[in-house]
Chain A
Amino acid sequence: MRYVKDVASVIRSKNAGPYELTFDLMFPDAETYEQVRHSITKAKIADLYKIDESQVLSIIHFAPAHAVKITIVRPRASGDLGETDVYGAQQHAPLLELTY
Chain B
Amino acid sequence: MELRILSPTAILGYGFPLSSFQAGLERDPHVIAVDGGSTDPGPYYLGAGKSFTQRAPVKRDLYYLIQASLERGIPLIIGTAGGAGAKPHVEWTVDIIKEVLGELKATAKLAVIYSDVDPELLIQELKRGRIQPLGPVAPLTEEEIRGSSHIVAQMGLEPILQALEEGAQIIVAGRAYDPTVFAALPALQGYDLALALHMGKILECAAIAASPGSGSDCLFGYLQEDAFILEALSPQRQCTKLSVAAHTLYEKSDPYSLPGPGGTLDLRETRFEELPGGKVKVSGTRFVPTEKYFLKLEGARRIGYRTISIAGVRDPIMISQIGDVITAVKERVADNFRDIRDYQLHVHCYGKNGVMGALEPQPQPGHELGLVMEAVAPTQDIADTICSFFRSTLLHYGYPGRKSTAGNLAFPYSPSDISTGAVYTFSIYHLLEVDDPKGLFTVELREV
Contacts and interface: CB of A to CB of B under 8 A. Distances in A.
Interface of A: 10, 14-20, 22, 24, 26, 48-51, 57-58, 60, 62, 64-67, 69, 71, 73-75, 77-87, 90-91, 93-94
B41 A86 contact: yes
Nearest to A25: B249
Contacts of A81: 303, 344, 346, 376, 423, 425
12 contacts: A10-B246, A16-B253, A17-B39, A19-B429, A57-B253, A58-B254, A64-B270, A78-B40, A83-B42, A86-B41, A87-B40, A93-B356
A58 B200 CA distance: 25
B248 A65 contact: yes
Interface string B244-255: 011011111111
B42 A79 contact: yes
A75 B249 contact: no
B429 A18 contact: yes
Closest 8 CB pairs of A and B: A79-B42, A64-B245, A65-B245, A71-B253, A65-B246, A16-B253, A84-B357, A86-B42
B62 to A, nearest CB: 25
A26 B134 CA distance: 27
A24 B40 contact: no
B242 interface: yes
B277 interface: no
B361 A49 contact: yes
B255 A69 contact: yes
Contact of B254 (A69, A78, A84): A69
Given A15-B39, A17-B251, A24-B250, 19 more contacts: A10-B246, A17-B135, A18-B426, A19-B134, A20-B136, A24-B246, A26-B246, A49-B359, A49-B361, A58-B253, A62-B256, A64-B270, A65-B242, A79-B424, A79-B426, A80-B426, A83-B42, A84-B357, A87-B40
Given A19-B135, A48-B361, A91 B245 contact: no
B43 A79 contact: yes
Contacts of A15: 39-40, 251
Interface residues of B, number: 42
A50 B245 contact: no
A17 B359 contact: no
A18 B43 contact: yes
Nearest to B344: A81
Nearest to B355: A90
Interface of B: 39-44, 134-137, 241-242, 245-246, 248-256, 270, 272, 303, 344, 346, 348, 354-359, 361, 376, 423-426, 429
Nearest to A87: B40
A64 B273 CA distance: 10
A77 B426 contact: yes
Query: Which of B40, B242, B246, B249: most chain A Cβ within 10 A?
Result: B249
A97 to B, nearest CB: 8
A58 B42 CA distance: 24
B356 A85 contact: yes
A32 to B, nearest CB: 13
A10 B426 CA distance: 30
Nearest to B359: A49
B210 to A, nearest CB: 14
Nearest to A28: B242
Contact of A16 (B42, B44, B246, B252): B252
B272 A79 contact: no
B359 A62 contact: no
A14 B250 contact: yes
A81 B344 CA distance: 8
Contact of B251 (A16, A19, A74, A83): A16
Contacts of A82: 346, 357
Contacts of A10: 246
A83 B136 CA distance: 17
A20 B44 CA distance: 18
Contacts of B348: 84
Contacts of B356: 84-85, 90-91, 93
Given A64-B272, A65-B249, A93-B356, A80 B256 contact: no
A87 B137 CA distance: 18
A91 B272 CA distance: 30
A24 B134 CA distance: 22
A85 B348 CA distance: 11
Contact of A62 (B255, B346, B425, B429): B255
Contacts of A91: 355-356, 359
Contacts of A75: 357-359
Contacts of B40: 15, 78, 86-87
B138 to A, nearest CB: 10
Nearest to A14: B251
Contacts of B424: 79
